[in-house]
Structure 1
Amino acid sequence: MIQLLRSMAFIVQMYVAMLVISLAYFPWAVISPAGAHAACHAYCRWVIWTLGWMTGLRCEVRGTPPTDDVMIAAKHQSFLDILMIYNAVPRGKFIMKRELLYAPLLGQYGLRIGCVPVNRGKRGAAISKMLSDVKTGRRQGGQLIIYPQGTRVAPGVPRPYKVGTGALYEQLGQPCVPVAANVGLFWPRHSLLRKPGLAVVEFLPRIEPGLARDEFMRKLENDVETTSNRLMAEAGFHADH
């Protein structure tokens, strides 16, 4: 019960901080994308810091986060892996649902950091425009963060990797950096409880461009799932499959 109360207090202040930080940085963010990135990094750092002393959940990033223009294909178990991965790279951006553009502040910040809004079924056209904008200087490069399974997946639950990730790998022509995680053990979806422990995201060796799509997908899934299972085993969890 005490841990639940600590978790709820953390969640309340987390959303208050989101409002305060986004408003404080908003003038800078309007002037420059650097201000938007600074705001998002400040928020991530705040959440990670308060998470540690308020709930006992510490965060650790392993491996070498990329600083060049790459695609990051990550295990997605909770909101926490979003924060940890974004905080570890200088110019992270996401493919986001177009509906989020209408969310106050969130939509504006998403656009300013270079997120790619897409309509359902039209991801290819959105990515083509993004690539064109980068080449012409209308959009900054950076680290495009995607989730190959398409949604949050609870620890130990199997879910296929979507072939769209392979298509994106071919279209971008950039290295892909896989990322494994165990964070869902401590920050579960559909729960207010934040469990004490060590949440880890691990940046794995990059997959260079040029692989056939099927070969890339097999390697990506094997690298991410094998390492995620190892990280979860370190925390005492063992998948059944």
Structure 2
Amino acid sequence: MMSAVRWGISLVFVLQNAVMMLLVGVVFLPWALVSTKGARAACKFYCIWVLWTAHWMLGLRHEIRGTPPAGEMLIAAKHQSFLDIIMIFNASPAAKFIMKREILWTPVIGLYAYRIGCVPVNRGKRGQAIKKMLEDVKSGVTAAGQLVIYSQGTRVTPGEKKPYKVGTFALYDQMEQVCLPVATNAGLFWPKGTIRRKPGLAVVEFLAPIPAGLGQAEFMARLEREVETRSDALMAEAGFDG
């Protein structure tokens, strides 16, 4: 009985958020078309709405730990769920994401992602996309900010192991910026592949910055070790024993 109730509440949560996404997209559209501030304001409003409704509808609370980014830097994050995207964006003043190019064609999301400066990446052509992005930054086409990359390239189910992709180092090396690692346990409560949402405390934790200038082997080993170790600890804290 409780399982059926949980599924029902999760379905209502998903549906009302889809409706709200459309409403926010329409209401903010005139401002978003003429100003990136309008697009970012719309995205922030939607993030706050999702986090608020998750709390009172689902019993799903959220917590940001560590120090969110304040200046221009590269953010290399663990990706388990749409929820960690929302939490990182809401906590960061100028976040923009490297994303699959297909997302550009998603209603509402595609337009607003483009307007806030997200970088679309072709599957199988990641190196070319990174090169193009760097050229845009240097020429002033892409506004400065906090570029978020998911170093494993996709959402990873809690307990699943996937390699860290070298594209993160390419950005870190060529942009010559500090890299801010991010850990999470969000996938325990907002898993991929299902509408069921679970109560609990979802955490996104900004870890100690990795200074610019490290070599590839040292950087990649440090990034993976720190993000995976802390993500495992956050999941264990929430009761995950996988």
Count of residue pairs brought into register by the alignment: 239
What's 1:138 paired with?
141
On the 8 A contact 1:92/1:145 being kept in 2, the answer is: yes
SS at match of 2:97: strand
What's 1:33 paired with?
36
Mean Cα deviation higher: 86-95 or 124-133: 124-133
Mean Cα deviation higher: 127-136 or 83-92: 127-136
* Alignment partners' CA distance in 2, 1:163 and 1:128: 14
Q: How far apart are residue 146 of structure 1 and its match?
A: 0.9
What's 1:222 paired with?
225
Q: How far apart are residue 131 of structure 1 and its match?
A: 3.1
* Alignment partners' CA distance in 2, 1:64 and 1:98: 30
In structure 2, what residue type is equivalent to 1:218? A
* Alignment partners' CA distance in 1, 2:138 and 2:150: 24
What's 1:57 paired with?
60
What's 1:235 paired with?
238
Gaps of 5+ in 2: none
Match of 2:107 among 80, 85, 104: 104
Q: CA RMSD in A?
A: 1.4
Q: List aligned pairs for 1:184-223, cutoff 5 A.
A: 184-223=187-226
What TM-score do you get using the length of structure 2 for normalisation? 0.94
On the 8 A contact 2:21/2:108 being kept in 1, the answer is: no
What's 1:180 paired with?
183
Q: How far apart are residue 122 of structure 1 and its match?
A: 3.2
What's 1:122 paired with?
125
Percent identity over paired residues:
60
What's 2:173 paired with?
170
Match of 1:161 among 164, 172, 183: 164
What TM-score do you get using the length of structure 1 for normalisation? 0.94
Mean Cα deviation higher: 44-53 or 117-126: 117-126
* Alignment partners' CA distance in 2, 1:232 and 1:106: 29
Gaps of 5+ in 1: none
- Superimposed CA distance per residue, residues 110-151 of structure 1 (whole angstroms, 9 cap, x where no aligned partner): 111001122234333333333333344332111111111111
- Superimposed CA distance per residue, residues 142-178 of structure 1 (whole angstroms, 9 cap, x where no aligned partner): 1111111111111111111112212221122111100
- Superimposed CA distance per residue, residues 150-207 of structure 1 (whole angstroms, 9 cap, x where no aligned partner): 1111111111111221222112211110000011111111122111110000000110
